[in-house]
Amino acid sequence: MNNGHNKPVRPELLAEKLAAAARMEDVRLAEQLEKEPRLGELLRAIQWFSFQPGGLAKLSNDVVEECPDRILTVAMKKAGPPGRDGQWTLEQALIAWRSEWNGPCHYRGNSQLTEMDRRLCHFDPTLREFLEPEGGKIEPSLDCGFDAWLGFYFDGELTADKVNRGIGCDKTNIFHGLRRFNHGYFKSEAVKTAAGRLASYMYDLCTLPNMSMEIGPTWFPDVIPVLLDFLDRHAARERLTIAETEVSKVIADVLDDTWETNGLGRISGDTGFGKTEKLKAECRAYPGRWRMVEAPLGDSLSDLIRAVGEEALGMAFPLGRLRPEDRQKVEFVLRNMRPGVVIDEAHRLCPQQFNRNSVAERYDWVRWAIVDHKLPCVLSVTFQTDKGETTEQRESRFVKTTGFNMEQFTRRIGREVSLPNVLSRADFMAVGRHHCGNLKKSTFDKLVNTAMASPGGLGVFGRVKLRAARLAERRGSHEVAWQDFNDAIAMEPGIPAKAHSLAVESPGCAIQAKPAEPSRKQRKTPAETVRELFPGRSQTDLSVSRIPSGCSEGLLTAPVLEAV
Count up the domains in the chain and report the number. Answer: 5
Q: What is the CA radius of gyration of the chain?
A: 34
Does residue 518 form part of some domain? no
Is there a domain that residue 520 lies in? no
Kindly report the number of other CB atoms within 10 A of residue 400's CB atom: 10
Q: What is the pLDDT of residue 234?
A: 95
CA angle 286, 291, 294 (to 5 degrees): 135
Residues 6+ positions from 87 with CB-CB distance below 8 Å: 182, 183, 184
Residue 168, in any domain of the structure: yes
The predicted-structure confidence for 432-482, as pLDDT tens digits, reads as follows 888 777 777 888 888 888 888 877 777 888 888 888 888 888 888 888 887
What is the domain extent for residue 130?
89-181
Give the pLDDT of residue 547.
37
Give me the sign of the Cα torsion angle 285, 462, 378, 316.
negative
In-domain check, residue 563? no
In one-letter notation, the amino acid at residue 359 is V
- Contact, 375 vs 340, CB < 8 A? yes
Contact between 306 and 322 under an 8 Å Cβ cutoff? The reply is: yes
The pairing of beta strand 264-269 with beta strand 131-133:
unpaired
Q: Is residue 36 part of a domain?
A: yes
- Do 373 and 320 lie in one domain? The reply is yes
Phi, psi of 263 (to 5 degrees): -110, -165
pLDDT the model gives residue 102: 61
431 and 384 in a single domain? The answer is no
Same domain, 125 and 166: yes
For residues 226 and 151, membership in a common domain is answered with no
Q: Say yes or no: 68 and 216 in one domain.
A: yes
- Out of 398, 418, 438, a domain closes at 418
Instruction: Specify if 3 maps to a domain.
Output: no
Q: Are 226 and 63 in contact (CB under 8 A)?
A: yes
Check: CB of residue 305 under 8 Å from CB of residue 341: no
Q: How far apart are the first and last CA of the chain?
A: 52
* Count of beta carbons in the 10 Å neighbourhood of residue 63: 24
DSSP string, 278-340: HHHHHHHH-TTTEEEEEPPSSS-HHHHHHHIIIIIT-----SSSPPHHHHHHHHHHHHHH--E
d(CA 353, CA 451): 36
Q: How far apart are CA 124 and CA 5, in angstroms?
A: 30
* Residue 206, in any domain of the structure: yes
Which residues, 6 or more positions from 234, have their beta carbon under 8 angstroms from its beta carbon? 285
pTM of the predicted model, to two decimals?
Answer: 0.75
Using CA atoms of 537, 543, 546, 547 in order, give the dihedral in degrees to the nearest 10: 80
The CATH number for 483's domain is 1.10.8
CATH number at residue 249: 3.40.50.300
pLDDT of residue 323: 93
Indicate the residue among 164, 181, 198 that finishes a domain.
181
Same domain, 34 and 60: yes
- The H-or-E segment that residue 269 falls in is strand 264-269
Characterize 282-311 residue by residue with b for buried, 16 or more Cβ atoms within 10 angstroms of its Cβ, and e for exposed. bbbbbbbbbbbbbbbeebebbbbbbbbbee
Helix (H, G, I), strand (E, B) or coil at 264: strand
What is the reported pLDDT for 76? 92
Phi, psi of 11 (to 5 degrees): -60, -25
Determine the pLDDT at residue 141. Answer: 64
> What stretch of H or E contains 413?
strand 413-418
Task: Let me know whether 398 and 304 are in one domain.
Answer: yes
CB 60, CB 195: distance < 8 Å:
yes
C-alpha distances (whole Å) from 198 to each of 2, 58, 59, 62 are 8, 11, 9, 11
Q: What is the 3-state secondary structure (H, E, C) of 70-89?
A: HCCCHHHHHHCCCCCCCCCC
Instruction: Give the dihedral sign, CA 103/108/110/114.
Output: negative
Determine the Cα–Cα distance for residues 433 and 447; give it in Å rounded to an integer.
10
Residue 513, Ramachandran bin (φ over 0: left; ψ between -120 and 50: alpha; else beta): beta
The dihedral through the CA atoms of 327, 330, 332, 335 has a sign that is: negative
328 with 363, same domain: the answer is yes
- Secondary structure in 3-state letters for 121-152: HHHCCCCHHHEEECCCCCCCCCCCCCHHHHHH
Indicate the helix (H) or strand (E) that contains 267. Answer: strand 264-269
Pick the last residue of a domain from 396, 418, 440: 418
How much is the pLDDT for 552? 37
Instruction: Mark whether 260 and 407 lie in a shared domain.
Output: yes
In a domain, 4, yes or no: no
pLDDT at residue 532, as a whole number? 62
> Are residues 20 and 93 both part of a single domain?
no
Question: Do residues 176 and 195 share a domain?
Answer: no
Confidence (pLDDT) at 501: 47
Do 547 and 497 share a domain, yes or no? Answer: no
Give every residue of the chain whose pLDDT is below 50, as ranges: 1-3, 105-139, 498-523, 539-564
